[in-house]
Amino acid sequence: MNELFDFPPDRTEYVDEAYAVVGRALTYAAMFERDSKNLVALFEAKKNYHLDSDETVDLITKALSKSLGAAHHEIIDLIEAALDGIIDRFGATHDGIIDQLGIPDPRLTLTHGRKARNWLAHVATVGLQSRIDHFDDRAALIREIKDAVEKIARAQVIVLTLTSVLTHEDVPRASFLDAFPVTVSQWVCEV
């Protein structure tokens, strides 16, 4: 038989569980990308509120079509501008604010989240069938996915917190935000 058309012949509980983990991980990665692009679009719309509706739609369309990397560069600029505003207003240091608010290095956190999303979308599924067919490989794959999802979720905390601030929504308590990455990784990986 032509190996190009090879497909897993048997569905077992273990194989189905592993594919379900991969599916949830890819879904969460797509949500992260969508939320990142939506944040940039929201910021563009708020920054340019004086434009007519056609111009605003064009700006939002451009923002949504950006790559995840480009969106994160703009988000980092937004975070740094916000921190600079707080520093100017209260005379605190950048590191002091980050320590006080419990915000990790936004640039590094977003970079790790983006790289983990890219790994899930482009690398994790290569050779997936053979990894799922073997118990040890399947367990290692799920551990790797859990690690990637936690990195994405830490970056997602930054994205969703900024979105909440820009839309005047309540920001969840720090304890919720701290637990968020583990909560998401459990949702994705526990079978």
pLDDT in tens, 100-123: 445 567 778 888 898 999 999 999
What does the pLDDT read at residue 159?
86
Cα 1 to Cα 113: distance, rounded to the nearest angstrom? 40
Instruction: Please compute the mean of the pLDDT values over residues 182-187 and round it to a whole number.
Output: 96
Please count the structural domains in the chain.
1
In a domain, 87, yes or no: yes
Higher pLDDT, 6 or 97: 6
Instruction: Look at residue 7 and tell me if it is in a domain.
Output: no
Q: Is 0.85 topped by the overall pTM?
A: no
**Mean pLDDT confidence for 94-104:** 52
Letter string b/e over residues 48-64, b meaning 16 or more CB atoms within 10 A of that residue's CB: eeeeeeeebeebbeebe
Q: Is residue 2 part of a domain?
A: no
In a domain, residue 152? The reply is yes
Which two three-digit tokens encode residue 169? 């929504």
pLDDT bracket for residue 9 (50, 70, 90): low
Phi, psi of 113 (to 5 degrees): -65, -45
pLDDT of residue 136: 83
Number of Cβ within 10 Å of residue 68's Cβ equals: 19
CA distance 69 to 74: 9
Dig out the tokens for 105 from the structure: 């290095």
Mean pLDDT value of segment 153-166: 85
* Integer Cα distance of 13 and 20 in angstroms: 10
Q: Which domain holds residue 45?
A: 12-189
Instruction: State how far the Cα of 55 lies from the Cα of 57, in Å rounded to an integer.
Output: 5
Answer yes or no: is 6 within a domain.
Answer: no
- 86: confidence class by pLDDT, cuts 50, 70, 90: very low
Q: How far is Cα 72 from Cα 7, in angstroms, rounded to an integer?
A: 37
C-alpha of 169 from chain center:
20
**In this predicted structure, what is the pLDDT of residue 8?**
63
**Mean per-residue pLDDT, 23-51:** 82
- Does residue 122 lie in a domain region? yes
3 within a domain of the structure (yes/no): no
Give the residue, 60 or 91, on which the prediction is more confident: 60
Top-ranked range on mean pLDDT: pick from 65-69, 165-169, 184-188:
184-188
The pLDDT of residue 90: 45
CB of 71 closer than 8 Å to CB of 44: no
Residues, the chain, total? Answer: 191
- What is the percentage of the chain residues whose pLDDT exceeds 70? 66
CA dist 93 and 83 (Å) reads 9
Question: What is the model's pLDDT at position 13?
Answer: 83
* Strongest mean pLDDT among 41-50, 54-63, 89-98, 163-172: 163-172
| pLDDT given at position 97 | 45
Specify the residue for token string 């991969």: 22
The verdict on residue 4 lying in a domain is no
